[in-house]
A and B are shown apart, each in its own frame.
Chain A
Amino acid sequence: MSAPPPRVTHGPGEPYVGTSVPRVEDQRLLDGRGRFLADLAAGALSVVFLRSTEAHAVIESIDTTRATDMPGVVGVYTGNDLPLARDYIGSLHTPDPGFVAATGFRMPEQRLAILPVDRVHYVGQPVVALVASDRYLGEDALEAVDITYRPLPAVLDPSASLAPDAAPIHPHLPDNEAGRIEVEFGDDVAADAVAVTVEGTYRIGRHGAVPLEGRGVLARVDGQRVSVWTSTQIPHLVRQGICEATGWSVDAVRVVVPDVGGGFGTKANVYAEEVVVPVLARLTGHDLVWVEDRQEHLVGSAQGRDQVHRTRLSVDREGRVLRWEDDFLLDIGAGGLWVAGVVANTAIHLLGPYRIPRVRLRGRAAFTNKTITAQYRGAGRPEACFALERSLDDAAGRLGITPVEIRRRNLLTAADLPYAQPLPYRDGVPIVYDGGDYLRCLDSVLELLPAETVERLAAEHPDLTIGHGVGCYIEATGRGSFESGRVRLTSTGGFEVASGAASAGQAHETVFAQVAADGLGCSLELVTVRRSDTDLVRHGVGTFASRSAVLAGSAIRRAAEQLLDQATGRAAQLLGVSPDLVKSTASGFAAADGSSEWEISWADLATACAPGGAQEQLGPLDVVEYFHPETVTWTMGAHAAVVGVHRGTGAVSVLSYAVAHEGGVEINPQVVEGQVIGGVAQGIGGALLEQFRYSPTGQPTSTTLAEYLLPGTCDVPDVQVRHLGVATPCNPLGVRGAGESGTIAVSATVAGAVEDALHGLVRVSETPIRTGPLRAAAEQIRREGQ
């Protein structure tokens, strides 16, 4: 059942899957030859957006006359000027009816206006679009747009927003509930079985992806069609969003993804700008570009997390979990097209990698007057993990056992797995954890980073008080419904691969080529992976939710195999031999019948099926496959951290970090390791530094990178990663998703280590962790000479 051991180099005749072949995209991306959205802007006029300065207000008037007369201005447009079929972008995810029935899931329709004309819902919401000859003149002219707002009270607290007497933020809805879910199973627990019950309130701050490259959209009209280049993870859903809003036919819109400098979920969303820019390109006839700047990004791009969990965990004398209850709230801001995904993810992942017989969960999402949200890396999983893992640490402390011990007693082992939960997944299929041995991950991470590391690091850092923490997580990966993969023989005998799963810099060009080369039995150099383009694959979903390797990888694998199959038949026909005599080689096909030998290259086959060739009638060798997984496949892992708390300031440094991770087959082990390490870095940001803050009137105060603090290289230690692969039968590659794994357990793990460092004098129950209380505790320890 174990996945084959990873190989660093690729030997002749060996599969490429499992090998750390160097990333082919890196040369281009690292030496400055990447082509990002802004690199395509030459010749286009600039679109600039006037964004709401009010958190919640009625728009009394918009006067664009002065702005229209400013130098360089081509036009100024409000929502009334856009010829839209529908003035909002629809939800991007609806759970399966089976899941809805089992969980009472409900959500209202969201109708946040593409460019609002009567009411604004958050600071940063685009209100007016202006086309100018360049960005400088455009920004000058924006200052001449006169808008009168009548402020309304800003709702910033999700509990207040859901209070029975709260005024609805969105006039078409009766209240501010954006979603709800209830999960309950297991028998009541006898009171005398319970040794300890811990209750807690855990807050996960409002964090965001903040990728290196912001968003951006370029639109060009070409006869009846509009081509849209956008920095997105989900080109086909963007196309759908544009078509639904404009009424244009799917055939009239092409969406192309250039090089993308990071997405992490914030670009797995459809945005107003992605509709407005092509609409204005049609209206004006000009090529138009909008490149988001960092200030816009920090108020206008989708954010995440921002949850509050009220928990109750009961364990028996041995520390075995008897009952787990959580009542959680999500603040989705003015809207979130993935609210169903995040609410359901949170609930499902609250079940953790443990045996928990009795569960009661209730979750509600609230609209507030903050920036919109989407699925930020982990999307409910890190929040669920924080609540559950923190509760376990608390219970362990009360029982007088270690955090490691309480997990050891509850983690699912080889004897328990596969493990069914009495609940369907979002796709309606009953949840079954298809893992190997979760306890092994905990043992393994402690080998990498044993608790005794504390003593060594304490000696090295006299100014710090040192602690050790652990955290475990579970992750559903590779969600459907489908993904596309296309493999095509080019006219020169190479292969082009395309998929709906767009790359945001991960390594799609490398790993998809590995998968295709194995399926084709050809050498890797023959394969080129194209960037996503709705003209290359007509259907697709996108890259998010740790799904690309699983779904796109599987689709590409099948397309490659099918192409090989077709090609073998054609080669046999060309050679005039029976197909079973034809063998594929690294460069094409060979056949032998004892007396003679023949060879035919992929280039020969390409010539044969081109016009004038012997197989012209058969058409090109070009296969599109859609892979529909039956359901998700589960990744599990354990994290360990050693942190130091500065005795004078309470500042937390993460000194050492380790992850042991039960994924599946690794297509490219180094790429997986990179994903895990990057995830840990992002997790450390959330645990210690990052927070979108708002003033009491709803003004965002984290509007530059001097206020929204991202972790730098000095804030992230070396991360040791151990992969304990267990191949899954759920897909032809045996892979499990790994894109979000690294980030999920970080806040919980760091929090545990901080408490350990401070001898349990503080309870860490929120992220980012506040240093003030830590400083007080560190001082107390010093005074008492502990």
Chain B
Amino acid sequence: MKPAPFAYLRARSVAEALEMLGASAHRDADAHTKVLAGGQSLLTLMNLRLARPDQLVDIGGLMELSRTFEDTDSVVLGALVRHRTLETDPKLGKRLPLVAAAAGQIGHVAIRNRGTLGGSLSHADPAAELPLAMLVHEAVIHVESATSGRRTIRAEDFVESIFTTTMQADELLTWVTVPSARPGQGWGFVEFAPRIGDYAQAGAACLVTVAPDGSVAAIRAGLLAAADRPLVVSEPGDEVSGIPTHETWERLAAHWTRNLEPLTDDPDHTRHLCRAALSQALADAYRRARTDQEEAA
């Protein structure tokens, strides 16, 4: 379990990182350069020799990408913000409680201390928590390259399929803009894993917006591990009339998981798990929204 030989470069600035990525892409189309962030996915794959980059560009020292900015309606997160920061930072937790809950479910503390938001999104594991949280939040991902400059990609368009994103080889994920929680909005995040710390077998995230009278104004919900990428499953046409009950969530969850084709050994079982996670997440989100409203009143 030792990696194949590789060259190692450590970037001192974003510009230098972009140059390093651009130069190698330019020099040799076959040469394979990879960004190294927290290393919690990449180094494992390299040790198993399943990933064999010729060169690593280590961005771990770029303090600028560890920063976060709070806007009125959104929070801007640097690519190197650690899972553990998302999970435990009280200010972030208040603005992005769904993200905090999702981050807290990733692996174990040691992994969360090193793993980064940019790494998790770029790695694009269909069972990962943060890509789903970003999808449900309708986040916008900022990427940059030395040749083609900056562009933004909506979270919905970011993942192409399993372990594959729409980023180019010379692009660096730099920032993520996440619309923050709004009044009347409650969140739910539920996942099922064989053991605490494992990648989920099924998981659901949702934001439920509730009107002052207790009726449901909007739902955005998604699933992880249900396909080759995180999926939005809420269908805006499926209005919830009146005050929802336990059965409402069960019915919606059953409806929204009916056509899933999970890529697992036992798709039927996985479909059931997705349904159970979703109905619980929806119920939790609604309950939280109501509690907030009552507290505000």
Using an 8 Å CB-CB cutoff, how does the interface string of B63-103 with A read, 1 for contact, 0 for none? Answer: 00000000000000000000000000000000000000000
B264 CB → nearest A CB, Å: 11
**Are A715 and B269 touching (Cβ within 8 A)?**
no
**Are A772 and B266 touching (Cβ within 8 A)?**
yes
A648 at the interface (CB under 8 A from B): yes
Query: B270's closest neighbor in chain A, by CB?
Result: A772
Complexed CA–CA distance, A771 and B268 (Å): 12
Which of B111-119, B135-143, B193-201 sits within the interface?
Answer: B193-201
A37 at the interface (CB under 8 A from B): no
The one of A143, A293, A649 that contacts B273, using a Cβ cutoff of 8 Å: A649
Query: B276's closest neighbor in chain A, by CB?
Result: A648
The one of A646, A714, A772, A779 that contacts B196, using a Cβ cutoff of 8 Å: A714
A140 at the interface (CB under 8 A from B): yes
Using an 8 Å CB-CB cutoff, how does the interface string of B148-160 with A read, 1 for contact, 0 for none? Answer: 0000000000000
B245 CB → nearest A CB, Å: 16
Q: Which residues of A contact B197 (CB under 8 A)?
A: 712
**Are B269 and A293 touching (Cβ within 8 A)?**
no
The one of B3, B5, B276 that contacts A649, using a Cβ cutoff of 8 Å: B276
Query: B1's closest neighbor in chain A, by CB?
Result: A293
16 A-B residue pairs with Cβ-Cβ distance under 8 Å, sorted by A, are A136-B2, A136-B5, A293-B1, A294-B1, A295-B48, A648-B192, A648-B277, A648-B280, A649-B192, A649-B272, A704-B48, A706-B198, A714-B195, A715-B195, A775-B269, A779-B272
Query: B279's closest neighbor in chain A, by CB?
Result: A648
A-B pairs with lowest CB-CB distance, top 3 = A648-B276, A772-B269, A293-B1
Using an 8 Å CB-CB cutoff, how does the interface string of B1-12 with A read, 1 for contact, 0 for none? Answer: 111110000000
Query: How many residues belonging to B are interface residues under a CB distance threshold of 8 Å?
Result: 24
**Given A136-B2, A140-B4, A294-B1, A775-B195 contact (CB < 8 Å):** no
Complexed CA–CA distance, A140 and B192 (Å): 39
Complexed CA–CA distance, A148 and B197 (Å): 41
**Are B1 and A295 touching (Cβ within 8 A)?**
yes
**Are B273 and A709 touching (Cβ within 8 A)?**
no
Complexed CA–CA distance, A19 and B272 (Å): 53
A711 at the interface (CB under 8 A from B): yes
**Are A712 and B2 touching (Cβ within 8 A)?**
no
Complexed CA–CA distance, A775 and B194 (Å): 14
The one of A143, A295, A711 that contacts B195, using a Cβ cutoff of 8 Å: A711
A360 at the interface (CB under 8 A from B): no
A651 at the interface (CB under 8 A from B): yes
Q: Which residues of B contact A712 (CB under 8 A)?
A: 195-197
Q: Which residues of B contact A140 (CB under 8 A)?
A: 4-5
Query: B196's closest neighbor in chain A, by CB?
Result: A714
Contacts A139-B49, A648-B276 known; list 11 others, CB within 8 Å: A143-B4, A295-B1, A648-B277, A648-B280, A649-B273, A689-B194, A704-B48, A712-B196, A714-B195, A714-B196, A775-B269
**Given A709-B194, A711-B195, A775-B4 contact (CB < 8 Å):** no
A712 CB → nearest B CB, Å: 5
Interface range on chain A (Cβ under 8 Å from partner)? 20 to 34
Complexed CA–CA distance, A779 and B250 (Å): 13
B5 CB → nearest A CB, Å: 6
Q: Which residues of B contact A139 (CB under 8 A)?
A: 2, 49
Complexed CA–CA distance, A143 and B199 (Å): 31
Q: Which residues of A contact B279 (CB under 8 A)?
A: 648
**Residues of A277-304 whose CB lies within 8 A of B:** 293-295
Complexed CA–CA distance, A293 and B47 (Å): 11
B282 CB → nearest A CB, Å: 13
**Residues of A683-740 whose CB lies within 8 A of B:** 689, 704, 706, 709, 711-712, 714-715
Q: Which residues of A contact B194 (CB under 8 A)?
A: 651, 689, 709
Q: Which residues of B contact A772 (CB under 8 A)?
A: 266, 268-269
**Are A689 and B199 touching (Cβ within 8 A)?**
no
Using an 8 Å CB-CB cutoff, how does the interface string of B180-209 with A read, 1 for contact, 0 for none? Answer: 000000000000101111110010000000
Q: Which residues of B contact A714 (CB under 8 A)?
A: 195-196
Q: Which residues of A contact B1 (CB under 8 A)?
A: 293-295
Q: Which residue, of B197, B276, B277, has the highest number of chain A Cβ atoms within 10 A? A: B276
Q: Which residues of A contact B4 (CB under 8 A)?
A: 140, 143
B280 CB → nearest A CB, Å: 7
Complexed CA–CA distance, A143 and B194 (Å): 35
Complexed CA–CA distance, A771 and B264 (Å): 14
Complexed CA–CA distance, A706 and B276 (Å): 24
A135 at the interface (CB under 8 A from B): yes
Complexed CA–CA distance, A140 and B49 (Å): 10
Q: Which residues of A contact B196 (CB under 8 A)?
A: 712, 714
Complexed CA–CA distance, A651 and B266 (Å): 15
**Residues of B27-71 whose CB lies within 8 A of A:** 48-49
Complexed CA–CA distance, A779 and B199 (Å): 24
Q: Which residues of A contact B272 (CB under 8 A)?
A: 648-649, 775, 779
The one of B192, B195, B276, B277 that contacts A709, using a Cβ cutoff of 8 Å: B195
A646 CB → nearest B CB, Å: 8
**Are A706 and B199 touching (Cβ within 8 A)?**
yes
**Residues of A645-666 whose CB lies within 8 A of B:** 646, 648-651
**Residues of B222-275 whose CB lies within 8 A of A:** 266, 268-269, 272-273
Complexed CA–CA distance, A139 and B194 (Å): 33
B127 CB → nearest A CB, Å: 11
B69 CB → nearest A CB, Å: 35
B275 CB → nearest A CB, Å: 8
B218 CB → nearest A CB, Å: 25
Q: Which residue, of A135, A139, A648, A651, has the highest number of chain B Cβ atoms within 10 A? A: A648
B229 CB → nearest A CB, Å: 20
Q: Which residues of B contact A715 (CB under 8 A)?
A: 195
Complexed CA–CA distance, A651 and B191 (Å): 12
B41 CB → nearest A CB, Å: 12
Q: Which residues of A contact B277 (CB under 8 A)?
A: 648
Query: B202's closest neighbor in chain A, by CB?
Result: A649
Q: Which residues of A contact B268 (CB under 8 A)?
A: 772
Complexed CA–CA distance, A715 and B197 (Å): 11
Q: Which residues of B contact A651 (CB under 8 A)?
A: 192, 194
Complexed CA–CA distance, A222 and B2 (Å): 31
Complexed CA–CA distance, A204 and B196 (Å): 25
Q: Which residue, of B4, B195, B202, B279, has the highest number of chain A Cβ atoms within 10 A? A: B195
Q: Which residues of A contact B269 (CB under 8 A)?
A: 650, 771-772, 775
Q: Which residues of B contact A646 (CB under 8 A)?
A: 192
A325 CB → nearest B CB, Å: 34
Complexed CA–CA distance, A715 and B194 (Å): 10
Complexed CA–CA distance, A67 and B2 (Å): 17
**Residues of A617-676 whose CB lies within 8 A of B:** 646, 648-651
Query: B194's closest neighbor in chain A, by CB?
Result: A709
The one of B5, B195, B280 that contacts A689, using a Cβ cutoff of 8 Å: B195
The one of A135, A294, A650, A775 that contacts B2, using a Cβ cutoff of 8 Å: A135
Complexed CA–CA distance, A557 and B188 (Å): 63
Complexed CA–CA distance, A684 and B4 (Å): 37
Complexed CA–CA distance, A712 and B192 (Å): 16
B190 CB → nearest A CB, Å: 9
B197 CB → nearest A CB, Å: 7
A650 CB → nearest B CB, Å: 8
Query: B199's closest neighbor in chain A, by CB?
Result: A706
Complexed CA–CA distance, A712 and B198 (Å): 11
Q: Which residues of A contact B198 (CB under 8 A)?
A: 706, 709
Query: A704's closest neighbor in chain B, by CB?
Result: B48
Complexed CA–CA distance, A136 and B5 (Å): 8
Query: B193's closest neighbor in chain A, by CB?
Result: A651
Complexed CA–CA distance, A416 and B158 (Å): 72
Q: Which residues of A contact B199 (CB under 8 A)?
A: 706
Query: A648's closest neighbor in chain B, by CB?
Result: B276
**Residues of A105-150 whose CB lies within 8 A of B:** 135-136, 139-140, 143
Complexed CA–CA distance, A293 and B48 (Å): 11
Q: Which residues of A contact B202 (CB under 8 A)?
A: 649
Q: Which residues of A contact B49 (CB under 8 A)?
A: 139
Complexed CA–CA distance, A650 and B273 (Å): 9
Query: B275's closest neighbor in chain A, by CB?
Result: A648
A140 CB → nearest B CB, Å: 6
